[in-house]
Amino acid sequence: MQNKKIEQLITQLLVELDENPTREGLKKTPHRVARMFRELTNGYKTTRQQTLNDALFEEKIHNMIILRDIEIYSLCEHHMLPFFGKCHIGYIPNGTIIGVSKLARIVERFTKRLQVQERLTQEIAMELKEILNPNGIGVVIEAQHLCMMMRGITKQNAIMITSSVLGSFRKDQKTREEFFSIVNKQK
């Protein structure tokens, strides 16, 4: 039912753009666009429990754990154009670790919403803080925004970098430096 309403809205948008929604190349566009938006925003419907799927493990590990280069794709909430890049996550456990794929799934759950990168970075850090209660956590996102590349200022090479550091990553300069040096290490 909701897809049909989105299809009607896309058809009306095509008309407002002086296009013919019944021409060959556009006949199925409203249906495809409705499916695309449902897929690109399914993070609203995914719960924490579905994402985690019992992948928390008790471990007496106190070293930094980092997952780098998690690809991200999201939609800017201001223009509904994509932004894309990489997310890096680090944490120091406090008795609990998380399955490595679940880190990427948490990132995906928050990227599949209309977003701003600044909030996205903070949401991922806060979600991991609530789930793991780690000694420290750091999240860095590097992304390019099509709303800046295709329109307006049209700067194709600009990369926005945001970070959220909590716990020992915020309080201890050496911990923070270790995290950023690993994240920034050349491949």
CATH of domain 55-183: 3.30.1130.10
Name the one residue in this structure whose structure tokens are 């896309």: 10
Q: What distance, in Å, lies between the first and last C-alpha atoms of the chain?
A: 47
Domain boundaries, the chain: 2-40, 55-183
* Confidence at residue 133, expressed as pLDDT on a 0 to 100 scale: 97
pTM: 0.94
Say which of 59, 71, 77, 118 is annotated catalytic: 77
In angstroms, rounded to a whole number, what is the distance separating the alpha carbons of residues 50 and 107? Answer: 13
Say which of 19, 31, 79, 122 is annotated catalytic: 79
* Confidence at residue 103, expressed as pLDDT on a 0 to 100 scale: 98
Say which of 59, 78, 118, 177 is annotated catalytic: 78
Concerning whether 87 is annotated as a catalytic residue, the answer is no
Rg, Å, the chain Cα set: 20
Say which of 31, 122, 147, 178 is annotated catalytic: 147
pLDDT, tens digit only, all 187 positions of the chain: 678 999 999 999 999 999 999 999 999 999 999 999 999 999 999 999 999 999 999 999 999 999 999 999 999 999 999 999 999 999 999 999 999 999 999 999 999 999 999 999 999 999 999 999 999 999 999 999 999 999 999 999 999 999 999 999 999 999 999 999 999 987 6
Concerning whether 88 is annotated as a catalytic residue, the answer is no
Region label for 81, one of left (φ > 0), alpha (ψ between -120 and 50) or beta (otherwise): beta
Residue 183, token pair as written in the block: 């994240």
Say which of 76, 88, 123, 142 is annotated catalytic: 76
Concerning whether 76 is annotated as a catalytic residue, the answer is yes
Say which of 87, 115, 117, 142 is annotated catalytic: 117
Spell out the CATH class of 2-40: mainly alpha
